[in-house]
A = this chain, B = another copy of it.
């Protein structure tokens, strides 16, 4: 990013965070120039950019003001799922979402797909080409079950950034984070056991639990601070909860980072009730703050945290390379991996290991963070512009997912049916609940290029939401004819 873009992003964030309120006057060009040590023209360019995004309005001879037309929508409130173990449903809806991937002309506005088109990925292609040119037969044969030592070393090195002291031997490579989660669940649970999850929670995790015959308790979750520790403790008191699955760094779908003191409290709660913690860190490298926040695993002294991650959100999901740092459950994780898929593909592991070793990973991450942050700001503007009032919107601290809550009885499943005429689909909220809650919510992806097509799609989506909400309001009126 250039200087003026950086400054504009900073100011936009301050406006969003409410530091500058709707209608308030912004600092003068001269003051900002002095404060940030940049030229007058840089500040002017930054203000001009924000004006284009309709975030600020110039007033002759008075300077710039925060645009009045719409206030920042509030955050979704703490969720209130049923606080008892439930069987998981919603598979059909998940399958619909996955199948619609196949239809190339549908714009997937709610998928979990990252942007894989950036030039910082070029070295990865080169490495893959070079590996193929070398024709080393070892790359065609079975790898060891635990995974390529060269990759495990790099993963252990990366884990230092999240505060973890791990050796290559503490890592087990898996076929994507999906397998990491799946073998972790099976390493700590038996069918019939109960696991606590955040609510909303990633649909892949929920369906994995369903597949293993595990029941879940969905725990109320705050869209800024994460899982309710009070509700979790209550669950521990009432039920034999074997494990907790959480996404504490850039939660999917809510986008929060759990504050450090709450992470530590979660860990000691798990210790007190002797539960395992499966920590999904797949978006953790994509936080906008630097250095990245610590993982739960970084405070884990007795090996009860199974840290699961992958390069699927940061680099390339199509390579299917993930890992787990399984702590005390290492042997069982290796066993469960053996029975699921055996060893992981050798060549792709080697390509990823080389990409990290040669130093391409961190610059790539930096770029992706910047792109996603800029995309987020654009999407945020569009949502405010095209969506009706009365919605709640998450404020992700990284990643590329936004969660929007609409007033009940809005129905996102029905919305998707309407949208399919325009070849658009969102991820409906009910995918993220074991029991089909959150039909009034939807998830949007901002890894997509925020281009003209995306803006048009947002406009269509906003209009459809407005229309559906108006219809809901009519439905909610007392039925006069029957009185």
Contacts and interface: CB of A to CB of B under 8 A. Distances in A.
A141 B116 contact: yes
For chain A, the bracket of interface size reads: 35 or more
Main secondary structure of the interface of A (DSSP, over half): helix
Contacts of A133: 125, 129
Contact of A341 (B137, B176, B213): B176
A164 interface: no
Nearest to A190: B213
Contacts of A211: 186, 335-336, 339-340
Contacts of A95: 145, 334-335, 338
A346 interface: yes
A345 B348 contact: yes
Given A116-B140, A125-B135, A140-B121, A207 B317 contact: no
A341 B341 CA distance: 8
Contact of A335 (B141, B207, B213, B335): B207
A481 interface: no
A249 interface: no
Contacts of A208: 339
Contacts of A94: 338
A17 interface: no
Interface stretch (A97-105, A234-242, A362-370, A455-463): A97-105
Nearest to A339: B211
Contacts of A182: 339-341
A386 interface: no
A318 interface: yes
A371 to B, nearest CB: 14
A300 interface: no
A126 B131 CA distance: 11
A339 B210 contact: yes
A81 interface: no
Contacts of A135: 122, 125
